[in-house]
Amino acid sequence: MSVRFKWVVMKTKDKIILASLDLFNEKGERNVTTNHIAAHLNMSPGNLYYHFRNKTDIIYEIFLQYEMLVDHYLRLPSNSDLTIEHMVFYLESVFDGLWSYRFFHRDLEYLLDCDQRLRRDYREFTMRCMQSIVTILKRLQKSGVIVPMEDDFVSAMALNVWLAITNWMAFLKTAHAGEENNVITKDMLKSGIYQVIILELPYIAEGHKDKVLTLKEKYRPQPFV
């Protein structure tokens, strides 16, 4: 019996996006030009420009993929109570996304200033993510994991959680600036989960607090001094 293998050939446009993402993450977006990307792929700059007019267009396409990934991570089950395991899963998933697209949050303000489309879409993305966090917190309240809170307080907590998540990379970058080996690792990034759990800990119901206290130690960051 013969076996047929189906080979999937990646499109040139997708190769450019993946190579750009790798280079941006490794070297920093400002240190990578379209010529660097083309050379990395052993293609002519003209071939790259056939698919993307400039580096800004590449970054925008990368953001669209990142946006879809986070939207997928924050999709909630419709007919089940949310648990502490769900809470940790959402945090793990979002921080995994941050790691995969880490260049983006290293220079977020600069990137948004460079592209009006990106600035507009990132604002909408932020509002959507914050609404998802509000929904998660309310579902955790409904299942008894978090104590009851007024809606205004839930919205404020959602904002604080979002700020902790999206600014953690920038904090690590500045906290380790000037060190001989200032490479930020995935474990260092995911220690941001500890900060989010600390924010939520005072509002965890007593019956769940011991479990959360144990979980948070998994993400405790190394001292910065």
Q: Tell whether 62 and 31 lie within a shared domain.
A: no
What ranges in the chain are assigned the alpha helix state H?
12-27, 34-40, 45-51, 55-73, 84-100, 102-106, 108-114, 116-142, 151-175, 186-190, 192-200, 206-216
Q: CA 87 to CA 74: how far, in whole Å?
A: 10
Contact predicate 102/96, CB 8 Å: no
- DSSP-based three-state secondary structure for 91: helix
Q: Tell whether 38 and 66 lie within a shared domain.
A: no
pLDDT of residue 195: 93
Q: Tell whether 45 and 60 lie within a shared domain.
A: no
Which of 53, 71, 86 terminates a domain? The answer is 53
CATH number at residue 124: 1.10.357.10
| Per-residue pLDDT at 222 exceeds 70 | yes
Q: Tell whether 105 and 145 lie within a shared domain.
A: yes
Q: How confident is the model at residue 159 (pLDDT cuts 50, 70, 90)?
A: very high
Q: Tell whether 121 and 31 lie within a shared domain.
A: no
Q: How confident is the model at residue 7 (pLDDT cuts 50, 70, 90)?
A: very low
Q: CA 32 to CA 37: how far, in whole Å?
A: 7
pLDDT of residue 81: 87
Residue 142 CB partners (closer than 8 Å, separation 6+): 81, 82
Looking at the structure of the chain, the number of domains it has is: 2
Q: Tell whether 183 and 92 lie within a shared domain.
A: yes
Q: Tell whether 30 and 109 lie within a shared domain.
A: no
Q: CA 36 to CA 158: how far, in whole Å?
A: 40
Residue 225 lies in a domain: no
Q: Tell whether 24 and 92 lie within a shared domain.
A: no
Q: Tell whether 103 and 132 lie within a shared domain.
A: yes
CATH number at residue 45: 1.10.10.60
Residue 4 lies in a domain: no
Residue 1 lies in a domain: no
| Per-residue pLDDT at 10 exceeds 80 | no
Candidate from 58-67, 87-96, 166-175, 216-225 with smallest mean pLDDT: 216-225
Contact predicate 159/153, CB 8 Å: no
Q: Tell whether 196 and 164 lie within a shared domain.
A: yes
Model pTM? Answer: 0.87
Q: CA 179 to CA 66: how far, in whole Å?
A: 30
Residue 139 lies in a domain: yes
For residue 74, give its domain range. 55-219
Q: Tell whether 111 and 136 lie within a shared domain.
A: yes
Question: What mean pLDDT is predicted for residues 103-131?
Answer: 94
Q: Tell whether 27 and 95 lie within a shared domain.
A: no
